[in-house]
Amino acid sequence: MSDKVSELADLLKALHQSRDEELRSTFNRSLPFADAQFDRWERAKLLGFGDKTSIYDSSVVMGDVRVGANTWIGPYTMLDGSGGGLVIGDNCSISTGVHIYTHDTVLWAVSGGVQETRKAAVAIGSNTYIGAQAVIIAGVTIGSRCVIAANSMVNRDVPDGTIVGGTPPRVLGRVEGEGADARLVYGRKEPSQ
């Protein structure tokens, strides 16, 4: 390694160590280099997302992605708006490792390239929580005030105020009440349309 490259590597290592110590003492967390160094709110602003929204540097954003205000997008997420657009509302929490796709190449692959790539928009309403490692496929609409359990694969629409989980998702309960009175009510009761 050349002296200049070695010097740069040492500077970057020192920068990361300093920032890591600051994050650990202030927030009791340690982040990968880029997520620690770059401002999540600034990146969201550069992407045209709503006021007070944040997105980690490790998140991938492709195509037409629109996000409302005060939404948290965790690390290692995939926001794919390349197949028809992705819209995420206000006050949402998109947990670590969530993948949201507006296209897939399944039929293209199994048909030997004969069939077209499937493309369809995805919409997620406001005040919705998407649990870690959930996958949302093209064409799905998730309503407002919903909860998607971790590790779920959502391949169908989810009505407002519904808690779902699993692959494929099944209704686990409802979100009831508003604001400080909001609560999660579990049971197999189907949502009213």
104-132 confidence digits (pLDDT tens): 999 999 999 999 999 999 999 999 999 99
Is the predicted pLDDT of residue 50 greater than 60, yes or no? yes
**Is 56 among the domain residues?**
yes
**Mean pLDDT score of the chain, rounded to an integer?**
93
**Is 64 among the domain residues?**
yes
> What average pLDDT score do residues 166-185 get?
95
**Same-domain check for residues 76 and 166:** yes
Q: Residue 177 is part of which domain span?
A: 40-186
**Same-domain check for residues 85 and 140:** yes
**Is 120 among the domain residues?**
yes
**Is 191 among the domain residues?**
no
Is the predicted pLDDT of residue 191 greater than 80, yes or no? no
* Residues β-bridged to residue 120: none
The tally of domains found in the chain comes to: 2
**Same-domain check for residues 79 and 58:** yes
pTM to 2 decimal places: 0.89
**Same-domain check for residues 47 and 125:** yes
Task: Determine the pLDDT at residue 193.
Answer: 45
**Same-domain check for residues 29 and 44:** no
In percent, the amount of the chain with pLDDT more than 90 equals 77
**Is 157 among the domain residues?**
yes
**Same-domain check for residues 115 and 20:** no
Task: Determine the pLDDT at residue 189.
Answer: 56
Domain CATH number, residue 118: 2.160.10.10
Phi–psi pair at 45, nearest 5 degrees: -65, -45
> What average pLDDT score do residues 1-13 get?
85
> What average pLDDT score do residues 17-28 get?
88
**Is 193 among the domain residues?**
no
**Same-domain check for residues 131 and 58:** yes
**Same-domain check for residues 19 and 102:** no
**Same-domain check for residues 25 and 45:** no
pLDDT digits (tens, 9 = 90+) for 123-173: 999 999 999 999 999 999 999 999 999 999 999 999 999 999 999 999 999
**Same-domain check for residues 5 and 72:** no
In percent, the amount of the chain with pLDDT more than 70 equals 96
Among 9-13, 42-46, 65-69, 123-127, the range scoring the smallest mean pLDDT is 9-13
Task: Determine the pLDDT at residue 146.
Answer: 98
* Residues β-bridged to residue 72: 54, 93
> What average pLDDT score do residues 59-87 get?
97
What span, in angstroms and rounded, lies between the C-alpha atoms of 77 and 124? 15
**Same-domain check for residues 30 and 115:** no
**Same-domain check for residues 53 and 17:** no
